[in-house]
Structure 1
Amino acid sequence: MTGRTALLRKAAECFVEAGAYTDAARCYDALGRLRTSADVYVRAGETERAGEAYRLAGDPEQAARCFRALGLTDRAAACWAEHDRPLDAAWELLLVGRPAGHLLAAAVAAGAPSERLALATGLQEWTEHADPGPAVRALALAEDRLSRPDHRQERQTLLAWSLETAVRTGRLDLGGRLFAAVWRRTERTGTDPELLDQWREWAREHLGGTWGLPSPETAPARTGGTGG
């Protein structure tokens, strides 16, 4: 470790301890520790700088989340496009009601996950033509997929996209069925503790209450692993 590196690291630690997060993040930038600097920029409330640091660190999901929060749709979409993920880039545009046909076509060519591709296509049809049919059919596909074992991250993303589609198309009844599908799967494989909390929070916000939902006491124990 060089003297400059040691001094920068010590300075960053001191700035964090003093609550001077922007200065600390700049030190981590200079050290090339971009992921750490991004996290510290978040603590500083420097969302745009955090997004750029996440982008440079190769984390398009966190980068896009930052830019989305600021309404910087094109920059959010570009983060995904840089990593050859046209479907995620398309979703950023669809969330603000912008057409994404060219990106959806690229997603088809790239072999994007079929359930999320169907959701994105359905949301575009709803936005452009007020046709709920494709979105409803996509939600049925998503419900079936969510009832089966899958990688945790993909399952969480599919659930988030499905709920967004259900809310935007006014099919809140189908939103509840999505959670129920995940719950049925977890009764067999074990659950994450956050699932029921998320379901109950969603129901309070969109359905006005949690009547009929499973209680925390009925939650099966989590078994671990990335599948399930």
Structure 2
Amino acid sequence: MTRPPDLLARAAHCYEQTGDYAQAARCHDEAGHPLKAAELWEQAGDPVRAADHWVRGGRPRRAAECLLSARRFEAAAECFERGGDLLAAGWTLVTRTRSYATAEHLFAVAESRTDGERLRRRLGRQLATARAYGESEALLRTLTDVPERIGSLAPARERAEAETWAVTAADHIRRPDLAALVFAASYRAGVTGCADRWQHWAARALGDTTGVPAGPAPPAPPPGPD
């Protein structure tokens, strides 16, 4: 017998109050509330079930994030693609899987409306070529240009994303020198959180954080009189 949605919602609330998030999620699922069920499956520590409900609720990007946390990289890329974020789909494949041809295709057809998106699209395509064929010359040229370009990207989110993609690409081709130059430029550009990311990267990649700033860059001085 089908239970009324209001009764299921009350039951879900009781389960949630006792910490039984999985049973609460099942109640909301039966009541036809996929988004609430998705939230509860996340709280229950089941990102795969959560992802299924995010998809059913029309939130494929949130589903992709859950699948990334579950290391279901191919499925995460499919969700990014379903949500229209072909750059994220391609990046997931080129950095987390060996589906380089599919990644390259996604980058090739992805629309890039801003300078930051165009830069990330180029980094993605060139990283796919480097990982598939060992041809990294074009990627090296792009990475060398990133420090000069990163400060001009807008909005601020574009600078942070370009930093992350460039550093990851440099890591994949074992060029920590280029990654450090990207971090330095990002730091000078005042990208939020750059110092912390630089510290963590240096500790992981270099085993040493000597010389890496421990806090945000000071504001640039005002221009002097003519």
The yes-or-no answer on 1:119 pairing with 2:123 is yes
In structure 2, the CA distance between the partners of 1:146 and 1:16, relative to structure 1 (3 Å rule), is farther
Q: CA deviation at 1:32?
A: 4.9
In structure 2, the CA distance between the partners of 1:83 and 1:141, relative to structure 1 (3 Å rule), is farther
Q: CA deviation at 1:220?
A: 4.5
The yes-or-no answer on 1:179 pairing with 2:179 is no
- Structure 1, residues 30-83: CA drift from partner, whole Å, max 9, x if none? 455544432321221211111222333443333223223444333222212223
Q: What is the alpha-carbon distance in structure 1 between the residues aligned to residue 10 and residue 28 of structure 2?
A: 10
Q: Secondary structure at the match of 1:214?
A: coil
Q: What is the alpha-carbon distance in structure 1 between the residues aligned to residue 91 and residue 217 of structure 2?
A: 32
Higher relative contact order (CA 8 A, sep 6+): 1
In structure 1, what is the equivalent of residue 98 of structure 2? 97
Q: What is the alpha-carbon distance in structure 2 between the residues aligned to residue 220 and residue 6 of structure 1?
A: 55
Q: CA deviation at 1:116?
A: 0.8
Q: Say what the alpha-carbon RMSD is for the aligned residues.
A: 2.7
In structure 2, the CA distance between the partners of 1:13 and 1:127, relative to structure 1 (3 Å rule), is same
Q: CA deviation at 1:17?
A: 2.5
8 A contact 2:61–2:83 mirrored in 1: no
In structure 2, the CA distance between the partners of 1:214 and 1:73, relative to structure 1 (3 Å rule), is closer
Larger-Rg structure: 2
Q: CA deviation at 1:212?
A: 0.6
TM superposition score normalised by structure 1: 0.78
In structure 2, the CA distance between the partners of 1:207 and 1:30, relative to structure 1 (3 Å rule), is same
In structure 2, the CA distance between the partners of 1:78 and 1:197, relative to structure 1 (3 Å rule), is same
- For structure 2, list consecutive stretches of 5 or more residues without a partner in the other structure: 220-226
Q: Which amino acid aligns with 1:174?
A: L
- Structure 1, residues 160-219: CA drift from partner, whole Å, max 9, x if none? 222221111101111122222221111xxxx63x43222211111111121111233x65
* Number of residue-to-residue matches in the alignment: 211
Q: CA deviation at 1:10?
A: 3.3
Paired-residue identity, %: 29
The yes-or-no answer on 1:215 pairing with 2:214 is yes
In structure 2, the CA distance between the partners of 1:215 and 1:77, relative to structure 1 (3 Å rule), is closer
Q: Which amino acid aligns with 1:168?
A: H
Q: Which amino acid aligns with 2:15?
A: F
- For structure 1, list consecutive stretches of 5 or more residues without a partner in the other structure: 222-228
Q: Secondary structure at the match of 1:19?
A: coil
Q: What is the alpha-carbon distance in structure 1 between the residues aligned to residue 142 and residue 5 of structure 2?
A: 52
Aligned pairs for 1:58-207 (under 5 A) are 58-95=58-95, 96-98=97-99, 99-100=101-102, 101-107=104-110, 110-111=111-112, 113-186=117-190, 192=192, 194-207=193-206
Q: Which amino acid aligns with 1:56?
A: R
